[in-house]
Amino acid sequence: MEKISLEFPAAAPARGRAAVGVVGSGDLEVLLEPNTAGSTTVSITTSVNGMARVWEAVLARVLGASPLPATKIEINDFGATPGVVRMRVEQAFEELNATGGK
């Protein structure tokens, strides 16, 4: 098990929060909460060690592409592939938009 912390630039604070996914085999849980404007922080707990650079690359693609709301992201990972990680994070932001984070 390994813990990884990352930070990315972001827009205004997110409104509301979202939780998606499950800590099951090949899957992960993503929790989004509002953060202070300008910054998104990610704290990852993963069952797979030694993949910090992959995490940084995958999340930079999702969070670095266009300015997303500033969020505190918690990721609890159970061996998800980069593709699944990307889909879950995007799903969480989608949920935030759809429900206003209710």
Partner 1 sequence: MNCEELLQRTSFIELSARERARALLDAGSMRELIGPFERMVSPWLARQGVVTQADDGVVVAKGRIDREPAVVLAIEGAYQGGSMGEVGGAKIAGALELAAEDNRRGIPTRAVIVFETGGVRLQEANLGLAAIAEIHAAIVDLRRYQAVVGITAGTVGCFGGMSIAAGLCSHMIVTQEARLGLNGPAVIEQEAGIAEYDSRDRPFIWSFTGGEQRYRSKLADAYVDDDAHAIRETIRAALRAGAPARHRSDRHEDFLACLAAVDPTQQARPDAVRALYKEGL
Instruction: Report the interface residues with partner 1, using CB under 8 A.
Output: 1, 17, 19, 22-25, 27, 29, 31, 33, 45-47, 74, 76-78
Closest approach of partner 1 to the CB of residue 78, in Å: 6
Closest approach of partner 1 to the CB of residue 101, in Å: 11
Which residue, 45 or 64, is less far from partner 1 as judged by CB?
Answer: 45
The β-bridge relationship of strands 2-9 and 71-77 is unpaired
Closest approach of partner 1 to the CB of residue 24, in Å: 3
Which residue, 64 or 84, is less far from partner 1 as judged by CB?
Answer: 84
Which residue, 9 or 26, is less far from partner 1 as judged by CB?
Answer: 26
